[in-house]
Structure 1
C-alpha cells in the first residue's frame, strides 16, 4: 500500500486506541450506520454539482467510514483493511476475464451488453457457492431506498428473461395500475379523511400506490433512468423554484399564505423561466438518444 494510505490506517487505529479519541473508540458497526449513509449521500450531492471542489473532501469522509468499519473488524479479529482490498482485487479480476484472462480465440472485443451478461453469469456462479444465498434476489440489500430496491430487483429478474419486451408494455401496465388507484380514490366520500382512517381502505390505497411506484421504477429501468437520481433531481428543481418564489414574496413585503392561486401560478412560471435561463436543457439528436444512457 502507499505510504499515505498506510499513514491514514495508522491514524484511524490511533484514534480508536487507548490514548485516542473517546468518541471514536466507543463507535460500533451499528452506531456508524447512519454516518455511512449520510456520507454516501453527501458524495452524491457533490457529484451532481459540476466540477464540485467538495467532491475530494466528501470522498475522503466516505473513505473514513470504510476504514472505521475495517478497524472495528480488525480489533475483533475478523478481518483487516488489507483483507478488504485483497478480496476486491480478486473479485475485479474474476469478473473481468476479458481483461485479465482474455480468450485467445476471441478476435473481436466484447460489446458492453456482452460484458454485462458475462458479469451477471459470473455473479450467479458465485451465488451458487455462497452459503445461505439461495435466490437471485438475495443479494439486493434490504436497506436500499425502496424505489432503488424495486429498480434493482426488476433489473436482476430481467437478466434471466422475466421481463417485458418493450417500454410501451410497461407504460400500459402503469396506466392499468393508475386506473386501479383512481377507482379507489373516486370511491372515497366527500370527506375522504374520515374514510382513510378505515384500515381496509388505507391498506387498499397503499397497495395500489405501491404497485404504481413499482411499475414506475420498472419503466425507469427500460428508459435507462435511475429513479432515485431522477426523483432527487426533480425534488431539487422544485426546491430551487419554491425558494425563488419565497424570495420574491419577501421582497414584495407579502406573506406566502396570503397569495391567491393565480399569484402562485405566475410566480411558479417565473421561477421556471429563471431556471431555464440559468440551466438550459440539453437537447439530444435522435442518434444521441439511442446511444446515451439517460
Structure 2
C-alpha cells in the first residue's frame, strides 16, 4: 500500500481531532476562534524570534506551533459546520495559482518587482469592494510595521511623508535600531508613549490619504 505523501501531517491532524472529540481534552473542546487569538499572536511572535535567532530546532518547533493553530481553527469551524481544513487548503491553492499567472498561465513577470505589480493588480481585481488603498491593512499590526505599510500605500495616491534630514543618518539596520531605541528612551524620559504617538501619527496620515482619494477624479 502506498504511504500517504505527508504521513506526519496526517498524524498531527488525527491528534487534533482526537483531542477535540467527545471524551478528549476538556480544554481543547472549550476553545473558540476568539479565545485562541492570544495564542496565535504569541506563537507568531515566538516564530519570529526563532527565525531571527537562526536556531533550526526552535524554528521547527515554532513553525509547528503556528501550524497547529491553523489546524485548531479549522477543526473548530468544521465542528460548527462552517468549513473544513480541506476548504482552507483549496482556497489557498486557488489563490496562489490565480496570483501567479506567470507560473501557471501564459503571463510574463521576470523580476520580483514585476511579480509584485501583477500581484497588486490581481488582488485589486479580486477585491472590488475595497475603495481605499488602506483597506485590508490590519490595524492591530505593531506600530512600526503599520507605519511602514501605510507609508507605502500613501505613495499610491500621491501622499508623501517627508523624511527630515538627519546628520546622524542610519546607514545600516544596526545603526537605525540604536537610533530608534534612543528615541524610545528619550520619549520615556519625557513621559511620552512612543507607541501611542506613532499610532496617532498613522491615523492622521490615514485621514490625509482618504482625503486625497476623495479629491482624486473618478476614472473615466
TM-score by length of 1: 0.53
Give the Å deviation of 1:134: 3.3
Which segments of 5 or more consecutive residues in structure 2 lack a partner in the other structure? Answer: 168-189, 206-220
Give CA-to-partner distance per residue, 1:28-74, whole Å, 9 cap, x none.
11111100000000001111112432110111011111110111111
| Contact preservation (8 Å) 1:147, 1:214 | no
Q: How far off is 1:171 after superposition?
A: 2.0
Q: Say if 2:134 and 2:150, in contact at 8 Å, map to a contact too.
A: yes
Deviation at 1:212, TM superposition (A): 9.1
CA distance in 2, matches of 1:154, 1:102: 33
Counterpart CA distance in 1 for 2:163 and 2:64 is 42
Contact 2:139 2:146 in 1 (8 A): yes
Divergent runs of 4+, >4 A:
206-210, 212-215
Q: Tell which structure's C-alpha radius of gyration is larger.
A: 1
Which of residues 148, 164, 177 is equivalent to 1:172? 164
CA–CA distance in structure 2, aligned partners of residues 42 and 172 of structure 1:
34
C-alpha deviation, 1:84, in angstroms: 0.6
How does the TM-score come out when normalised to structure 2?
0.70
Q: Spell out, residue by residue over 1:216-268, the C-alpha distance to the aligned partner (whole angstroms, 9 max, x if none).
A: xxxxxxxxxxxxxxxxxxxxxxxxxxxxxxxxxxxxxxxxxxxxxxxxxxxxx
Cα separation, 1, equivalents of 2:133 and 2:19: 40
Count of residue pairs brought into register by the alignment:
177
Which residue number in structure 2 is paired with residue 211 of structure 1? 201
* Compared CA separation, residues 73 and 110, structure 1 to 2 (3 A): same
> Aligned runs of 1:154-233 on 2, under 5 Å?
154-158=151-155, 160-164=156-160, 170-172=162-164, 210-211=200-201
Q: Which runs of 5+ in 1 are unaligned?
A: 176-192, 197-201, 216-294
